[in-house]
């Protein structure tokens, strides 16, 4: 049996944070051995919310370096920019005929983004975000897509488009399944539900131990625990959420001593900072290696783009044939 195929992707927003690691990368790294993986840098998708493109290349490179530093293997799996494989735009156009405006307007991820980013008038390309994503996945005949909860509606739209195409023109595409990441997402340093660059509440994978300490020092904890001795409630504390991910062994003790007041927030934060930095140390080390060898990075990208292009071309010639556009 050939391995099933995964298409995983992220929008390049620059250096990645520990929320990306916990919510996605850790999972991708595990999955790269079980599946044949393709790793997409979704640079076109960035345009849906940011027209300014001055940093788009550097942001893509920074993200790629973080992927590699975390342990994604470019020999096993091609890594490539969406904008370099023209077949994405071609398939996106054809797919845009297979879904209604109404269906896209019901996409809950779009509604969330409009609310979070204060968007009043949606551009055509933003409405079509999931159509482009369907093209990303199906161009490589992805059977599975590792995603967080918020992306599940997009995978569902990809399934609908695959089904519609297959019914209309003949079987070409699999119906991709979402592979949910099981760890809940990390809260931000401000206590908000989500770590996100635009909210400026992140710990970067490239942050050195001093920076991690300084950032944690400012983190919001239980507002009722003002000084050491005050009893705290770890269930509402973001630092405790980080302990659960990066310091599992000490969680029961921290829980008890936070509640009793024996453990103060400053100590608790410093212990957390050093555990996070332990996990980040090898990543930072590997990042340095690549930063000193940027030509290796361009080689990896060129190679990934060549391999992705070959698969994309094969799918498109099948599509064109089925549609009598050959």
Residues near ligand TRP (CB under 6 A) are 7-11, 40, 42, 45, 133, 136-137, 145, 147, 151, 154
Least gap, CB of 88 to ligand TRP (angstroms)? 9
Task: Specify the residue, 82 or 247, whose C-beta has the smaller distance to ligand TRP.
Answer: 82
Q: SS in 3 state form for the chain?
A: CCCCEEEEEECCCCCCEHHHHHHHHHHHHHHHHHCEEEEEECHHHHCCCCCCCCCHHHHHHHHHHHHHHHCCCCCCCCEEEHHHCCHHHHHHHHHCCCCCHHHHHCCHHHHHHHHHCCCCCCCHHHHCHHHHHHHHHHHCCCCEEEECHHHHHHHHHHHHHHHHHHHHHCCCCCCCEEEECCCCCCCCCCCCCCCCHHHCCCCECCCCHHHHHHHHHCCCCCCCCCCCCCCCCHHHCHHHHHHHHHCHHHHHHHHHHHHHCCCCHHHHHHHHHHHHHHHHHHHHHHHHHHHCCHHHHHHHHHHHHHHHHHHHHHHHHHHHHHCCCC
Least gap, CB of 155 to ligand TRP (angstroms)? 8
Q: Which residue is nearest to ligand TRP (CB)?
A: 9
Task: Specify the residue, 244 or 307, whose C-beta has the smaller distance to ligand TRP.
Answer: 307
Least gap, CB of 78 to ligand TRP (angstroms)? 14
Task: Specify the residue, 116 or 299, whose C-beta has the smaller distance to ligand TRP.
Answer: 116
Least gap, CB of 261 to ligand TRP (angstroms)? 41
Least gap, CB of 82 to ligand TRP (angstroms)? 7
Task: Specify the residue, 89 or 256, whose C-beta has the smaller distance to ligand TRP.
Answer: 89
Task: Specify the residue, 48 or 206, whose C-beta has the smaller distance to ligand TRP.
Answer: 48
Task: Specify the residue, 45 or 215, whose C-beta has the smaller distance to ligand TRP.
Answer: 45
Least gap, CB of 49 to ligand TRP (angstroms)? 10
């Amino acid at each position: 049996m050939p391995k099933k195929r995964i298409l995983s992707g992220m929008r390049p927003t620059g250096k990645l944070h520990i929320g990306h690691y916990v919510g996605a990368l850790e999972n991708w790294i595990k999955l790269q051995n079980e599946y044949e993986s393709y790793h997409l840098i979704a640079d076109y998708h960035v345009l849906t919310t940011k027209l300014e493109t001055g940093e788009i290349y550097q942001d893509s490179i920074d993200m790629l370096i973080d992927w590699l530093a975390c342990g994604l293997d470019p020999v096993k799996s091609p890594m490539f920019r969406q904008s370099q494989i023209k077949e994405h735009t071609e398939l996106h156009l054809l797919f845009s005929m297979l879904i209604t405006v109404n269906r896209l307007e019901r996409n809950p991820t779009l509604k969330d983004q409009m609310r979070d980013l204060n968007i009043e008038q949606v551009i055509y390309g933003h409405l079509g975000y999931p159509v482009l994503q369907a093209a990303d996945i199906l161009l490589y005949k992805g059977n599975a897509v590792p995603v967080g909860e918020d992306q599940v509606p997009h995978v569902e739209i990809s399934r609908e488009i695959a089904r519609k195409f297959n019914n209309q023109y003949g079987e070409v595409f699999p119906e991709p399944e979402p592979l949910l990441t099981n760890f809940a997402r990390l809260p931000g340093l401000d206590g908000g539900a989500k770590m996100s660059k635009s909210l400026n509440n992140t710990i970067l994978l490239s942050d050195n131990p001093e920076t991690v300490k300084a950032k944690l020092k400012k983190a919001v904890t239980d507002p009722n625990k003002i000084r050491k001795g005050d009893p705290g409630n770890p269930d509402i504390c973001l630092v405790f959420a980080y302990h659960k991910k990066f310091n599992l062994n000490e969680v029961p003790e921290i829980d008890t001593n936070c509640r009793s007041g024996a453990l103060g927030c400053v100590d608790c934060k410093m212990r957390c900072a050093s555990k996070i930095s332990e996990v980040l140390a090898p990543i930072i080390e590997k990042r340095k290696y690549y930063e000193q060898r940027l030509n290796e990075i361009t080689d990896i990208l060129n190679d990934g783009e060549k391999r992705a292009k070959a698969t994309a071309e094969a799918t498109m010639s099948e599509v064109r044939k089925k549609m009598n556009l050959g």
